[in-house]
Amino acid sequence: MDTVLVTGGAGFIGSNFIHFLISSSSYNVINLDALTYAGNIKNLSSVEKDSRYRFIKGDITSPEAIRQLVDLDFDYLVNFAAETHVDRSILAPDRFILTNILGTQNLLNLSLQKQIRKYIQISTDEVYGSLGREGFFSENSPLDPTSPYSASKASADLIVLAYFKTFDLPVNITRCSNNYGPYQFPEKLIPLMINNAVKNKPLPVYGDGSNIRDWIHVDDHCRGILQVMEKGRSGDIYNMGGNSEKQNLELVKTILEILGKPESLIRFVTDRKAHDWRYAVDYSKIRQELRWAPQVKFTDGIRDTIAWYLNNQDWLEEIVSGEYQHYYEKMYSTR
């Protein structure tokens, strides 16, 4: 059976994708991950003994790690490996440029050398910049990234497309809206709010909380990635969205309501620099061409997600008591 090399598979979406591949397909999976602060090998404890799964610790920016991959057989490469937190990219952009741009180029060179069947770049709708009240991003919307994070992802996308046009490398790019679900690192909005609410700690909301994000359950995203990998037209970009636009404040209030906690826990904090106001994608292309559409209703998905974090307090506690605590204080305590 074919083998999928997943890079960044110990993070939030990558680990969900590996669970999905092992449970719903017959692919073999190799997971290469540097285990940065955001990578957690425990996300994969239920598959680690599966004969179809193999883990390699390695950094996509390191020539040594790439050399190791040259000796392996794989048919597809799905690249999730990235620095992903916008706030961290504002504090310290260097690592974002290195991993997200140069790391991607290393994987493209590897893919050319190995003549693989398809390279999939997991990108984001943030490459399109910010919307006003009206409209949606299509695959043809201009790239207009705001943060060092989104600029590094947009740069990587352009390099991926250049390898398709120049070297005929079969590639696809997926650009997805905000994901939620199990195993998300608790610096991101939904697990951060759940964790704080459970502990009766203040819930920091940027600005006036009016910013709008479209939320997609990670299971829907993973299903779409596999469809793009198997059936996507080479060289094409596919947007994926969740059909669930929410203002941040509305989302935080929903979480408090489900947990039975008071809205008095909400604290408005100084807004993020250059905070994009609204993201929303038009995903009619993937719906028409690959028959993909999100299936998880937000009202169900958010309840299941909250239940998962409540049932996995040990997982959460191990993270929030480590390096993250220091970062959290730096981000929010002085605002």
Pick the closer one to ligand NAD by CB: 8 or 182.
8
Helix 148-167 with 104-114: angle, nearest 10 deg: 20
Pick the closer one to ligand NAD by CB: 229 or 261.
229
Please enumerate in sequence order all residues whose Cβ is within 8 A of that of 329, keeping only pairs 6 or more positions apart, or say none.
none
Q: Are strands 178-180 and 171-176 parallel, antiparallel or unpaired?
A: unpaired
* Catalytic sites, residue numbers: 125-126, 149
Based on the shown chain and the rule CB under 6 A, indicate whether residue 276 belongs to the binding site for ligand NAD.
no
DSSP code at position 130: -
Interacting span for ligand NAD (CB under 6 A) from 158-166, 178-186, 272-280, 310-318: 178-186
Q: How far is the CB of 236 from ligand NAD (least distance, A)?
A: 17
CB 105 within 8 A of CB 135: no
Q: Using CB under 6 A, which of 4, 5, 59, 181 touches ligand NAD?
A: 59
Q: Using CB under 6 A, which of 80, 163, 164, 238 touches ligand NAD?
A: 80
> Hey, which residues between 289 and 318 contact ligand NAD (CB under 6 A)?
none
Instruction: Provide the b/e sequence for 30-49 (b: ≥16 CB within 10 Å).
Output: bbbbbebebbbeebbeebee
Q: Using CB under 6 A, which of 4, 22, 44, 122 touches ligand NAD?
A: 122
> Hey, which residues between 4 and 43 contact ligand NAD (CB under 6 A)?
7-8, 10-14, 33-36, 38-39
How far apart are alpha carbons 132 and 147 in whole angstroms? 17
DSSP code at position 101: I
Based on the shown chain and the rule CB under 6 A, indicate whether residue 185 belongs to the binding site for ligand NAD.
yes
Helix 63-70 with 104-114: angle, nearest 10 deg: 20
| 3-class secondary structure, 283 | coil
Based on the shown chain and the rule CB under 6 A, indicate whether residue 187 belongs to the binding site for ligand NAD.
no
How far apart are alpha carbons 8 and 103 in whole angstroms? 11
Based on the shown chain and the rule CB under 6 A, indicate whether residue 178 belongs to the binding site for ligand NAD.
yes
| 300, two tokens | 């169900």
Total residues at interface with ligand NAD (CB under 6 A): 30
Q: How far is the CB of 268 from ligand NAD (least distance, A)?
A: 23
> Which residues of this protein are in contact with ligand NAD, per CB under 6 A?
7-8, 10-14, 33-36, 38-39, 59-61, 80-84, 99, 103, 122, 124, 153, 176, 178-179, 185
